[in-house]
Structure 1
């Protein structure tokens, strides 16, 4: 299955010199970007698997290690995943580990931005705090200083709509949990309608409220310089016709988009656990030994895995 970062942000680069712009992953809903932002296609490398295995925030400096260092440190991480200490990693243990890293990424991401928005340090983030921190200067100028005024106004309205949906008691103030729902609506059942609506809005270029095949592929792939169509694009076209377009009318409506993108419909952490075991389990006994993992150390740990110092601090704190 191809994993594209489905929903990319409208650029806030013009704001950076004046206001604190919300990072891309907060501005738009991700299909399941909390596992990795990379394409899940092993023919183009293992970045997706690296980040899913050890978390995106730590997946930065592991390529600086020698092969011997990386294997030694990978072995220590394996010890942590093996919760029953039987010397093997089961599908259940690997699934729980990936979900743990996934949740930690969300928690750390929210914590990182909480301080930016809780201006009065009362342990809450009001809509006015968020709005003024993100758009303050341009609100005063009514967005006259930006080239695409309509896009910024639309972005503000969309943020407000999402904030109100996350604000369960409708008091205009977000608790930590409500703010998490605002930043990561894909994780909350009561935010599902927002996830679907934003997805359709982002991909639906002709504004008819539906996603056709051209729009579906165009959000993932735009050929450059007469670039030939990769095989994964052909696969995605087939997925659209065979699986996504359930009623076979040539379009994806809101209900079909919901079945396509929402976590809970598909457990991506579970799928990734199955994939890692399939690629690493040499004796096909359904579990991974340390030797099997070290044999596939490149698959799991080369290039983009982790700032191991950060990970070890995390492990130490949790133990």
Structure 2
């Protein structure tokens, strides 16, 4: 499957389990605005999650159109920060970034109590290790399905990088960096290191074209390579491998997984503007947004009933 379609969760932590399970600790890319496919020909679900955040998008999916539009109208007034009666691309971008930031913080909050075992408002490495790997630590021979020693070492390395004061105790800012390293400048080196370790099959510290393609596609599954594979080969040769030595080093890998010249929120803001700007003046009125409310927010039910989940702000 193409890398652009991969889930990019920073860390799938183990919560409330008697033994650790396989974790995806590699970060493939900047934290996405949504894990869903962005295909407007099918639906606008990606746009809903990008604009609202994951949890709020689920709430809107349960609302009737009238209520969905009403709440969107209230949001438009909040997005229009300079109160000029229009929503600009920059205002949309700020709103989207804030929605995604809230999603990350909510994710950390949901997991916090599972690891803060002594309820002191901090999470030590020992607490995290014992919750995540407790059963393995008690009996390392009980389950050999995964290399938990390696997984635990990677977690500790990431934890130490996130732990900026070096006391092996994380506050919420540090724990957020541990769970979502792609959003933090000081975490980029460890993100690159994890990526190379996972893809570099020959252990030379680089990613060659065979390893790059092999991470996305198993040639044994098809009689001939699909077109996108050839496109990825061309991408590697022309853009990924900048110094043309046939492999990606750490700097080239960083440019690949965390490109500094691409802003997901900005791209989504441009997309929403393009979809809704009826008079093509480069800004949106409330009417233009509400006329295209299905692009911004979801709505599936046809009556209020029990599904109408009202929030205080609405």
**Global fold match (TM > 0.5):** yes
Residue pair 1:217, 1:233 contacting (<8 A) in 2 also: yes
| C-alpha distance 84-120 of structure 1, shift in aligned 2 (>3 A) | same
Root-mean-square deviation (CA, aligned residues, Å) is: 3.4
Question: How far apart in 2 are the matches of 1:177 and 1:234?
Answer: 42
| C-alpha distance 2-155 of structure 1, shift in aligned 2 (>3 A) | closer
Residue pair 1:213, 1:251 contacting (<8 A) in 2 also: yes
How far the C-alpha of 1:245 sits from its partner, in A, is: 2.1
Question: How far apart in 2 are the matches of 1:230 and 1:297?
Answer: 37
The match for 2:92 is 94
SS in 2 for 1:122: coil
Please give the residue correspondences for 1:172-187 in structure 2 after superposition, counting only pairs within 5 Å. Answer: 172-187=168-183
How far the C-alpha of 1:292 sits from its partner, in A, is: 2.2
Question: How far apart in 2 are the matches of 1:69 and 1:300?
Answer: 14
Residue pair 1:3, 1:40 contacting (<8 A) in 2 also: no
Query: Cα deviation per residue 1:115-162 (whole Å; 9 max; x = unaligned)?
Result: 1111111121111000001111111111x2324242x22111100000
The match for 2:303 is none
The match for 1:296 is 292
The match for 1:107 is 105
| C-alpha distance 86-267 of structure 1, shift in aligned 2 (>3 A) | same
Question: How far apart in 1 are the matches of 2:112 and 2:162?
Answer: 15
| C-alpha distance 234-294 of structure 1, shift in aligned 2 (>3 A) | farther
Residue pair 1:98, 1:273 contacting (<8 A) in 2 also: yes
SS in 1 for 2:57: coil
The match for 1:125 is 123
The match for 1:148 is 145
Aligned residues: 307
How far the C-alpha of 1:274 sits from its partner, in A, is: 1.6
Q: Where does the alignment leave 5 or more consecutive residues of structure 1 unmatched? A: none
Pairing 1:18–2:6 present: no
| C-alpha distance 72-237 of structure 1, shift in aligned 2 (>3 A) | farther
Question: How far apart in 1 are the matches of 2:187 and 2:12?
Answer: 24
Pairing 1:81–2:79 present: yes
Normalised to the residue count of structure 1, the TM-score between the two structures is 0.81
Residue pair 2:57, 2:297 contacting (<8 A) in 1 also: no
- Aligned counterpart in structure 1 of residue 239 of structure 2, from 220, 236, 243: 243
SS in 1 for 2:55: coil
| C-alpha distance 9-95 of structure 1, shift in aligned 2 (>3 A) | closer
Residue pair 1:3, 1:38 contacting (<8 A) in 2 also: no
Question: How far apart in 2 are the matches of 1:146 and 1:22?
Answer: 12
Pairing 1:4–2:2 present: no
| C-alpha distance 125-102 of structure 1, shift in aligned 2 (>3 A) | same
The match for 2:254 is 258
| C-alpha distance 93-166 of structure 1, shift in aligned 2 (>3 A) | same
Question: How far apart in 2 are the matches of 1:52 and 1:231?
Answer: 29
Query: Cα deviation per residue 1:34-66 (whole Å; 9 max; x = unaligned)?
Result: 411123343454332221111123222433333
Normalised to the residue count of structure 2, the TM-score between the two structures is 0.82
Residue pair 1:210, 1:252 contacting (<8 A) in 2 also: yes
| C-alpha distance 261-278 of structure 1, shift in aligned 2 (>3 A) | same
Query: Cα deviation per residue 1:48-101 (whole Å; 9 max; x = unaligned)?
Result: 222111112322243333333333332222222122233221011101101111
Q: Where does the alignment leave 5 or more consecutive residues of structure 2 unmatched? A: 301-306
